[in-house]
Amino acid sequence: MHCKIAIDGPAGSGKTTVARELAKRLGIEYLDTGAMYRIVGLYLHNCGVNPDSTEEIEKILNEVSIEYKDGEYYLNGKKIGDEIRTAQAGVYASQYGASPVVRKFLTKLQKEICANRSIVAEGRDIGTVVMPDAQVKIFLVASPEVRAKRRYEELKMKGLEVSYDELLRQIIERDKLDSSREIAPLVKAEDAIEIDSSNLSVEEVVEKILEIVKERCKLTR
């Protein structure tokens, strides 16, 4: 039986770090759905598409192909790099991620990737929309200040010029956008287990989730 693990939560709560480590230890696939929203958001922004225009978005997405191979993403055959990891790309992902057309396009792809395999998928609507039948659903949270500090350290390490205050403002704005949008909002799934990582190390979060996985997925590792 496949083991499906959904990790949802706001920006900087630790989803990517924890999901990657879990997938590695369990020897199963991993999917970062946020990267897909960043790819589409950045592309639509660069095409000058109005986030509110369904027609314009539909027209562009009809000519877009996104592939996911061995943990790498390709947009129209071109491998995606760190250009999607900027704070601004996260803002575009949020802006265009509120469009029903973008969500339909990406959710279909995400469901195809998650089908018929054990996988750890992370994002905002995995436990509610992409993998509602996941045996393990985690809602990973942390205070906005802790999340902004983590994102600040992360981007600084990448050599990017960032301001903590600006990151905090963007994180609070994205939280609001993500949780208040009409379609597939960031909400805790009824059967999700909430974990606050504000005062936990990565290892402590991973261990907590592994315990739940072993119980629900009957995995030995």
Ligand X SMILES: Nc1ccn([C@@H]2O[C@H](COP(=O)(O)OP(=O)(O)O)[C@@H](O)[C@H]2O)c(=O)n1
Ligand Y SMILES: Nc1ncnc2c1ncn2[C@@H]1O[C@H](COP(=O)(O)OP(=O)(O)O)[C@@H](O)[C@H]1O
Q: Name the binder of 97 from ligand Y, ligand X, none, CB < 5-8 A by kind.
A: ligand X
| Least spacing, CB of residue 98 vs ligand X, in Å | 7
Considering CB under 6 A, how many residues would be counted as binding ligand X?
17
Interacting partner of 202 out of ligand X, ligand Y, none (Cβ under 5 to 8 A depending on kind): ligand Y
Closest CB to ligand X among residues 175, 213: 175
Contact call for residue 205 and ligand X (CB under 6 A): no
Ligand-binding site membership of 13 (annotated) = yes
Q: Judge whether 161 and 155 are in contact, CB under 8 Å.
A: no
Segment holding 8, helix H or strand E: strand 4-8
| Residue for token pair 């958001």 | 41
The answer for 77, left when phi > 0, alpha when psi is -120 to 50, beta otherwise, is left
CA distance 89 to 41: 7
Residue 27 is labelled as binding a ligand: no
Nearest to 141 by CA among 116, 99, 178: 178
Q: What are the residues binding ligand Y (CB under 6 A)?
A: 9, 11-17, 150-151, 154, 197, 200-202, 205
Summarize the annotated binding site for ATP as residue ranges: 9-17
